[in-house]
Structure 1
Amino acid sequence: MGFPGTWMTESESMVYRVVPKCACSTIGQIMYYSDHGRFFDGDIHDAQEGLHKWGIEASQGPITANVEAHRSFAFTCVRNPYTRILSSFFDKICGIQRNGRRYRGNLVPLLVQKYGIEVGSPEDGFEFDQIKSFRRFLLFARDTIRWKKPMAADIHWSAMSGHISTFIANGGRYDAIFWTERFNEGMQGVLDRVETPVPVSLDDIPRFNESEGHGPKRAHPVEAYFDDLSMHLVYEIYKRDFQLFRYDFENPANKLPTGEIDLDEVHVKLAG
């Protein structure tokens, strides 16, 4: 199994387990900058050099050796499940991707046909009933996660605990898990505990939101998208994420965590 989704600086100053839709573009660019003194020109997910990634075959040996010996500071970042699934919907389902096409080719036509979802288009200014379509998308996301139908769950809406658990189950251990909602505080905590070839000043780092501008803007506050049934579905899908990462299930309007993450609890509960 190894360590899928794991990135490591070439200097081996730090190891990061990517969780999609949780500031991963910004974190990857910070890691790249901390080794090279410049940002990767393009989406960091496309980088094939300058950063060890599990998806690059030549990187698997160095990552495995490092993680199994716990030679470097290892961390990941999480996000409120309500805002994360909303972001996935607007980016991956409604948005036009970097290649100018819809995400995963036939996915959106499938959703239109089977779930009655509307997504709008650049031609009509993405005019559609966002709340109704999002709630139908939630049914689809639940179906993919619970029953792997009509397809297996996508990494952008599968549970964060699932991503994070592979690192633990295969012998890794996290030194820190921080929240996207308190990004500067969390990322600074990582930088304070590692030595990088190039110093990083977080105040000077732009935010790399690669999904921005490709689709419709969210027209309503977060809580407007979640009625009682939607909240029930979200809890069914992300119960463990709410519990382990201390997010407020009862109030979709509260994106901030309600307590500290217990790293020991995370390792015990996600080890199996």
Structure 2
Amino acid sequence: MGFPGTWMTETESVVYRVVPKSACSTIGQIMYYSDHGEFFDGDIHDAQGGIHKWAMEDSQPLITANVKNHTSYSFTCVRNPYTRILSSFFDKICSIQRNGKRYRGNLVPLLIQKYGIEVGSPEEGFEFDQIKSFRRFLLFARDTIKYRRPMDPDIHWSAMSGHISTFIINGGRYDKIVWTEQFNDGMQQVLDGIKTPNPIELSGIPRFNESEGHGPTRAHPVEDYFDELSMHMMYEIYKKDFNLFKYDFENPGNKMPVGEIDLDEVHAKLGE
């Protein structure tokens, strides 16, 4: 299986396990900048050079050797499950993608047909009942994760613990798990633990949000999208994410972590 979703700087200063919808564009650009003194021109997910990625065959033996020997500082980044699934809905389901089309071709028509979701359109200013549609999307996400139907779960809404565990199961160990909500503090700890050819001043780094501006804006506070049934489904799907990464399940309106992440506990529970 190897180390899917793992990126590494060309200088092997640092190794990062990508978690979709958790600041991965910004982190990838920071890694690229740390080696090259400039940002990648475009979406870092499209970069085919200048950074090692597991998806690129030539990078695989280098990443494998580094991770198995824990040669470099290794980290990942997590996000509150409530805001992460909302972001997935608005970015992947409601928005027009960078290629000018809907995400995954027939996915949105399938959701409209089978789950009665509305997504609006650019011509109508993306007007639709966001709360009703989101809750129907959440039912679909639950079906994909729990029952793998009507399709396998997508990486953007599958549990963070699943992404993070592949790294551990195959012999990797994390030195740090950064919270998106305290990004500069966590990322500074990562940078303090490594040596980079080009210095990084985090306060001057832009946020690379490649999905912004191509769809509807969230019209309500986070907590308005989650009623009691939605919260029950969230716990059913993301119980490990809430517990291991110390997020507040009881209050969807509180995006901040409520405790410290115990790295030993993460490695023990996700390495089984």
When normalised by structure 2's length, the TM-score is: 1.00
Asked whether 1:262 is paired with 2:259, we answer: no
Aligned to 1:96: 96
Question: What secondary structure is seen at the aligned counterpart in 2 of 1:254?
Answer: coil
Cα distance between partner residues in 2 of 1:201 and 1:63 = 26
Cα distance between partner residues in 2 of 1:178 and 1:198 = 21
Q: What does residue range 165-244 of structure 1 map to in structure 2 within 5 Å? A: 165-244=165-244
Aligned to 1:79: 79
Gaps of 5+ in 2: none
When normalised by structure 1's length, the TM-score is: 1.00
Amino acid at match of 2:51: L
Cα deviation 1:102-152 (Å, max 9, x = unaligned): 000000000000000000010000000000000000000000000100000
Cα distance between partner residues in 1 of 2:14 and 2:85 = 28
Gaps of 5+ in 1: none
Aligned to 1:51: 51
Asked whether 1:147 is paired with 2:126, we answer: no
* Per-residue deviation, 1:203: 1.1
Q: What does residue range 102-113 of structure 1 map to in structure 2 within 5 Å? A: 102-113=102-113
Cα distance between partner residues in 2 of 1:37 and 1:220 = 39
Question: What secondary structure is seen at the aligned counterpart in 1 of 2:58?
Answer: helix
* Per-residue deviation, 1:157: 0.1
Question: What secondary structure is seen at the aligned counterpart in 2 of 1:33?
Answer: helix
Asked whether 1:157 is paired with 2:154, we answer: no
Cα distance between partner residues in 2 of 1:267 and 1:211 = 32
Question: What secondary structure is seen at the aligned counterpart in 1 of 2:4?
Answer: coil
Say how many residue pairs are matched: 272
Amino acid at match of 2:130: Q
Cα deviation 1:240-263 (Å, max 9, x = unaligned): 000000000000000000000000
* Per-residue deviation, 1:178: 1.2
Aligned to 2:253: 253
